[in-house]
């Protein structure tokens, strides 16, 4: 009617930032797999590892950034004793190249791990500029690899007297291993490779996984967690230590990779 004001219905205004986020999330197909590699610092050593992620479960509302992942992992690690200290004996000369050695060490102990686990998102994202936090559970097969830690040392021969010799720890050489004045240094990594011992076992680990990736096709993450390994036979690393079947540690790892 004449003189009556017509009121138009209000149109809901969608913030520009929300529109941009929606476009980023929906313009590309969802992530289905990933791979990554990284380095781990442990309270009892170090490790290199590689992951393959499959069977990724997606969130219906945010298909690119909220998911759980089934993980397969292979890992190579070395266990060390916290008392280990590199020593170089410069007081005696040797015909061979002198290498640093660890006083009191009798074996090198490596691990090969094959794991399966789940990484479950518990917080963060879907905005790709933010981080996400995941809870990791994993476990699997552990194979312990023990290699004799050989030294170049002066050994008393009944006929020739003191001679330079590559030795590994045995009761007959105990006094030599305890006398730094008789030790030139380590015999080198290659010594003892033909005497490897393989010890089967299994492991479990749990961790918090922090994903800092800004693009959905990349993976850049850190992880803080703990793990424990159980072996069928006792393993000795340092002289006079009680041999152990169980090894537990805390760790922090860094990894990078791709998603598709």
Distance CA 148, CA 193 (A): 8
Mean pLDDT throughout 37-63? Answer: 85
68 forms beta bridges with 57, 120
| For range 189-208, the mean pLDDT | 95
pLDDT of 16 over the 70 cut = no
Per-residue confidence band for 63, with pLDDT thresholds at 50, 70 and 90: low
Output the pTM of the full model: 0.79
CATH topology of domain 30-259: Porin (2.40.160)
**Cα 152 from Cα 191, distance rounded (Å):** 10
Of 79-83, 157-161, 171-175, 185-189, the range with the lowest mean pLDDT is 157-161
In angstroms, the Cα distances linking 83 to 43, 70, 80 are: 12, 37, 9
Mean pLDDT score, 211-231: 92
Across all residues in the chain, what is the average pLDDT?
84
């Amino acid at each position: 009617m004449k003189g009556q004001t017509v009121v138009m219905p209000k149109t809901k205004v969608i913030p520009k930032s929300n529109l941009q986020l929606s476009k980023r999330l929906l313009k590309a197909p969802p992530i289905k797999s990933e791979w990554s590699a990284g380095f781990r610092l442990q309270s009892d050593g170090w490790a290199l590892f590689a992951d393959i992620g499959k069977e990724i479960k997606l969130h219906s509302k945010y298909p690119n950034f909220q998911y759980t992942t089934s993980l397969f992992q292979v890992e190579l690690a070395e266990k060390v004793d916290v008392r280990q200290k590199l020593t170089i004996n410069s007081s005696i000369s040797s015909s061979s190249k002198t290498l640093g050695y660890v006083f009191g060490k009798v074996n090198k102990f490596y691990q090969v791990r094959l794991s399966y686990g789940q990484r479950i998102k518990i917080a963060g994202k879907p905005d790709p500029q933010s981080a996400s936090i995941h809870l990791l559970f994993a476990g699997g097969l552990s194979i312990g690899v023990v290699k004799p830690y050989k030294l170049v040392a002066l050994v008393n021969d009944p006929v020739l007297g003191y001679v330079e010799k590559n030795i590994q720890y045995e009761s007959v050489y105990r006094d030599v291993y305890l006398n730094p004045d008789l030790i030139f240094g380590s015999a080198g990594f290659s010594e003892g490779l033909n005497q490897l011992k393989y010890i089967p076992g299994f492991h479990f680990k749990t961790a918090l996984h922090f994903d800092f990736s800004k693009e959905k096709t990349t993976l850049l993450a850190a992880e803080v967690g703990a793990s424990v390994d159980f072996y069928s036979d006792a393993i000795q690393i340092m002289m006079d230590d009680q041999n152990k079947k169980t090894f537990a540690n805390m760790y922090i790892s860094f990894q990078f990779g791709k998603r598709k």
